A = this chain, B = another copy of it.
Amino acid sequence: MSATAKPSIGHLVIVGVGLIGGSFSLALKRAGLVGRVTGVGRSRDNLELAQRLGIVDAWTHDVGEAVRDADVVLLAVPMSAFESVFADMAASLSDHAVVTDAGSTKQSAIAAARKFLPNPSRFIAAHPIAGTEQSGAGAAFAELFEKRLCVLAPDPDSDPDALALVKALWHQVGSRVVCMGAAEHDDFLAAVSHLPHLAAFALVNAVRRQSYEGHDPFRFAAGGFRDFTRIASSSPEMWRDIALCNSDALVKQIDAFQAELSGLREALMAADGESIMNEFKAAKEAREKWLAEHGDGL
């Protein structure tokens, strides 16, 4: 199947009916590409809400039961749950079922699939680079993935039909699909996503730990601080999971970032205005080039 052929799924199972899982279902339903959708999750309230909103046609807490006749299974749960979810579905998956995910780190997802799935070649690791601060089924909307990048990380063992189907599905929900190696993906995302999150948390903590007599330093923070630290209001659980799942790449990025900070510190100590200016200018230019080239998909 080519990426432009319209796929059709009889039974889609969404494990984790939150913003990502729910939006995936809504987008495929809107496109008329799916027969029925079963949601799996822990929160009864969230699953009932998903059903009321037409995101899922049925739901259960039991992933093994849900996937029994599934054609496609999407994992949209926190990274820390991947192993147990794969383990729970392993015995019930049919031979033809295709499994994909929406996790932020791909090497760990593939490792978990290899460890627990009967046929890991039919697992195609995916990462839709999309999201909002909102979570839960109530936040889902069919347009979430439109124009957003979705990285697929197949490997040489991946089943070509499974890959073609997953590619077509993400294409149909509006994503711009890119294939690359899992390690490369994890390096990139460590740089442009995981590190910024970690740095935002770290910076808020640096301020928080400083006590000044009579004044709260946060009081003097303004719009720049608000935007810089916006991602420090993200889910601590989710980002702990991502950080742990991608710790090798993230540590490398922390080191690269610390080297930049140390370079600027040195220039400051030497009152080397020219170096500081060159660094700030290069950063501004790189950011503006990025926005000009890729800003429309944000």
Do A243 and B196 touch across chains, with their CB atoms under 8 A apart? no
Closest to A197 in B: B224
Contact A199 B261 (CB under 8 A): yes
- Do A221 and B290 touch across chains, with their CB atoms under 8 A apart? yes
Closest to A213 in B: B184
Give A residues with C-beta under 8 Å from B: 129-132, 148-149, 151, 180, 184-185, 187-189, 191-193, 195-210, 212, 215, 217-234, 236-237, 239-240, 243-244, 247, 250-251, 253-262, 264-265, 268-269, 271, 273, 276-277, 279-284, 286-291, 293-295, 298
- Residues of B near A219 (CB, < 8 A) are 149, 293-294
Q: List 16 A-B contacts (CB under 8 A).
A: A149-B219, A180-B215, A188-B217, A193-B221, A199-B203, A202-B279, A204-B287, A221-B294, A223-B298, A226-B291, A226-B295, A236-B284, A240-B280, A244-B273, A251-B269, A254-B261
Q: Which residues of B contact A228 (CB under 8 A)?
A: 196, 199-200, 227-228, 230-231
Say yes or no: B232 contacts A218, CB within 8 Å: no
Q: Which residues of B contact A220 (CB under 8 A)?
A: 129, 149, 151, 185, 188-189, 192-193
In the complex, which residues of chain B have a beta carbon less than 8 angstroms from the beta carbon of A187?
Answer: 212, 217
Q: Provide the bound-state CA to CA distance between A227 and B218, in Å.
A: 19
A273 and B192 form a contact (CB under 8 A): no
* B197 contacts A212, C-beta separation under 8 Å: no
Q: How far is the CB of A145 from chain B (nearest CB, A)?
A: 12
Which B residues are in CB contact (< 8 Å) with A298? Answer: 222-223, 226
Cα A60 to Cα B188 in complex, Å, equals 52
A125 → chain B closest CB, angstroms: 15
Determine which of B256, B268, B284, B291 lies in contact with A201 in the assembled complex, contact meaning CB atoms within 8 Å: B284
- The CA-CA distance from A192 to B184 in the complex, in Å, is 34
Question: A184 contacts which chain B residues (CB < 8 A)?
Answer: 212, 215
Within the assembled complex, what's the spacing in Å between the Cα atoms of A231 and B224?
6
Residues of B within 8 A of A255 (CB): 265
Rounded to whole angstroms, the CA-CA distance of A226 and B231 in the bound complex is: 10
Assembly CA distance A233 to B292 (angstroms): 13
| Chain B residues with CB below 8 A from A236, complex form | 277, 280-281, 283-284
A239 to B287, CA, bound (A): 16
Q: Nearest chain-B residue to A218 (Cβ)?
A: B290
Known: A129-B222, A222-B298. A282 touches B205 (CB 8 A): yes
A225 contacts B192, CB within 8 Å? yes
Smallest beta-carbon distance A103→chain B, Å: 15
B contact residues around A289 at 8 Å (CB): 218
Contacts of A258 in B (CB 8 A): 258, 261-262
| A266 CB → nearest B CB, Å | 10
B273 touches A240 (CB 8 A): yes
Whether the pair B260, A206 counts as a contact (CB closer than 8 A) is yes
Instruction: Give CA–CA (A146, B144) in the complex, Å.
Output: 36
